C-alpha cells in the first residue's frame, strides 16, 4: 500500500522516481493480468491455454493522482512484462485520450519494445522504445506499449491531466495491426485478422 503523501501540486515537489523504494511507495499501482485482457490478443486458443494454467501479470502502471484540471500534467511509470500469447508479444491494452487532441510523451528507462500508434483515419506506425530515447505520441493517436524483449519494459510517461482515457474503442475494435515475433525471431508488424472495420 502506498504511503500517504501530500503532493504540493500548486507549489511543486520532488519525487523519488526509482521503482524500488521510491515511486512504488508513493504512487497508486494499477495491475493488468492476462485474464483481464480477454479478446485483446489475436490467438484465442493460445490465450485460453495460458490462462487455464496461470494468470501472468502483463503490465502495470504507477500514477500520482494529479488533480485532473486543465494545465496540470499527469505523469508516472508503465511496466510491460516480457511474454507472448501465441506469437504476439505482451502489450498494454492501449487507448485514445478522451480529449482526442492530446499528445503524450514516453521516455524509456529500461527494456526494449515498441509503441504502436494509430489514428482514427487509419494511419499506423510502430516507434521503437529503447533506453534513453523518448517517443512523442501525437494528438489523435491511440497508443500501446509492446515488450519485444526478455526483461521488463519500463517507461516514464507524461500528458495533460484532464485528457482522460478511452479504452472502449480499442476493446471494441482492436488495432488494425499486431506486433508479433516473426519466423526469424524478430518483431514484425502484421494485419490484425480480428480488426473490426467501422
23-36 per-position pLDDT tens digit: 666 677 899 999 99
DSSP assignment of 83-133 equals: -EETTEEPB---BB-SSSS--EEEEEEES-EEEEEE-TT--EEEEEE-TT-
User: If you average pLDDT over residues 118-142, what whole number do you get?
Assistant: 97
Whether the CB-CB separation of 59 and 78 falls below 8 Å is answered with yes
Give the confidence band of 198 by pLDDT, cuts at 50, 70, 90.
low
* 180 three-class SS: strand
Q: Determine the pLDDT at residue 1.
A: 44
Run of H or E including 134: strand 134-137
The Cα–Cα gap between 98 and 95 comes to 9
pTM: predicted TM-score of the whole model, two decimal places: 0.91
Query: What class, spelled out in words, does domain 23-191 have in CATH?
Result: mainly beta
* Average of per-residue pLDDT values in the chain: 91
Lowest mean pLDDT among 54-63, 97-106, 168-177: 168-177
Q: Cell numbers 480477454 label which residue?
A: 38
User: If you average pLDDT over residues 58-81, what whole number do you get?
Assistant: 92
Per-residue pLDDT tens over the stretch 76-103: 999 999 999 999 999 999 999 999 999 9
The Cα–Cα gap between 117 and 177 comes to 10
pLDDT of 197 over the 60 cut: no
Amino acid at each position: 500500500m502506498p504511503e500517504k503523501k501530500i503532493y504540493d501540486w500548486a507549489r511543486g515537489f520532488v519525487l523519488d522516481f526509482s521503482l524500488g523504494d521510491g515511486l512504488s511507495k508513493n504512487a497508486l499501482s494499477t495491475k493488468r493480468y492476462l485474464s483481464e485482457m480477454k479478446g485483446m490478443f489475436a490467438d484465442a486458443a493460445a490465450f485460453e491455454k495460458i490462462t487455464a494454467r496461470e494468470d501472468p501479470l502483463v503490465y502495470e502502471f504507477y500514477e500520482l493522482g494529479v488533480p485532473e484540471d486543465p494545465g496540470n500534467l499527469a505523469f508516472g511509470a508503465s511496466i510491460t512484462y516480457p511474454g507472448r500469447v501465441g506469437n504476439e508479444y505482451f502489450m498494454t491494452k492501449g487507448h485514445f485520450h478522451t480529449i482526442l487532441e492530446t499528445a503524450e510523451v514516453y521516455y524509456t528507462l529500461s527494456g526494449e519494445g515498441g509503441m504502436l500508434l494509430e489514428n482514427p483515419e487509419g494511419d499506423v506506425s510502430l516507434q521503437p522504445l529503447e533506453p534513453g530515447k523518448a517517443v512523442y505520441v501525437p494528438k489523435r493517436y491511440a497508443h500501446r506499449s509492446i515488450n519485444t524483449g526478455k526483461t521488463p519494459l519500463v517507461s516514464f510517461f507524461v500528458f495533460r491531466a484532464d485528457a482522460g482515457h478511452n479504452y472502449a474503442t480499442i476493446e471494441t475494435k482492436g488495432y488494425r495491426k499486431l506486433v508479433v515475433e516473426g519466423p526469424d525471431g524478430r518483431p514484425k508488424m502484421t494485419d490484425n485478422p480480428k480488426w473490426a472495420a467501422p
